[in-house]
Amino acid sequence: MKRAVVLCSGGLDSTVAAAEARAAGYELYLLSIHYGQRHAVELSRIPQIAETLGAAKSLVLALDLRAMGGSALTDEVSVPKDRTADEIGNGIPPTYVPARNTIFLAIALGWAEIVRAEKIYFGANVLDYSGYPDCRPEFLRAFEMLAKIGTKAGVEGWQVRIEAPLLKMTKAEIIRRGVALQAPLHLTHSCYDPDIAGRACGRCDSCRLRLKGFAEAGLADPVEYVAMKPAS
């Protein structure tokens, strides 16, 4: 059975990306990186998500990027709240984590080479977060090129490809696709700033885009919120 490493944070997009890999016939190797993000509650859902998707293996690696500082997700700075979709999409967001996706893809590449996976599935999306430089298609192509040059696999003639099936989908389309693929959306978590019980805040960029997406898809979000304010 052909194999895919799936970068899975336990969030909505990466869980739908995992469901896409499964639907494409891949045996799933779910890779999650605990990098010191404050929304680590996402990762607590990984075992259930892995089980629901029938993953062959689920690996959670710790890499504490907090020691480097530099981001709203890992530092003790405030997460922006109540921004509109336009404000969220404008420029590089403060939640940008330097080189995060390069780091994640590099680790995924290592695992892909070890288990001989031909694909890395990655839930990157350019529409809602155009500001992240490491979600852009040209970044993904550059990474594939690097993977070809920099691995034993590439030298021996088999290549690890990056698959980003959600790259140009709207959040509503991702949600509809997730429902169609029976992705366990009820287990996913997207909030940058959950409360102590793990409930989504409903007000950070990630919550607002998610709620807007469910509203546009005409569906109810199955997860629990402290407040519900879809981005206008």
Q: Which two tokens stand for residue 149?
A: 């040059």
Phi-psi region of 88 (alpha: psi -120 to 50; beta: other; left: phi over 0): alpha
Member of 2, 44, 48, 62 binding a second copy (CB under 8 A):
62
- Return the bridge partners of 4, or none: 28, 119
Residue 14 vs 32, nearer CB to a second copy: 32
State the nearest-atom distance from the C-beta of 71 to a second copy, in Å.
Answer: 8
Residue found under tokens 């690890």: 160
Strands 57-62 and 119-121: unpaired
* Residue 155 engages a second copy in binding (rule: CB under 8 A): yes
State the nearest-atom distance from the C-beta of 78 to a second copy, in Å.
Answer: 19
Q: List the interface residues with a second copy, window 111-130 (CB under 8 A).
A: 111, 113-114
CA-to-CA dists, residue 121 to 128, 190, 217, angstroms: 19, 18, 24
Q: List the interface residues with a second copy, window 158-217 (CB under 8 A).
A: none
Member of 63, 77, 180, 227 binding a second copy (CB under 8 A):
63
Member of 121, 122, 129, 143 binding a second copy (CB under 8 A):
143
At residue 4, φ and ψ (nearest 5 deg) are -135, 135
State the nearest-atom distance from the C-beta of 141 to a second copy, in Å.
Answer: 9
3-class SS of residue 48: helix
**Contact between residue 201 and residue 226 where contact means Cβ atoms under 8 Å apart:** yes
Residues that bind a second copy (CB under 8 A): 59, 61-65, 67-70, 92, 96-103, 105-107, 109-111, 113-114, 133-134, 136, 138-139, 142-143, 145-147, 149-155
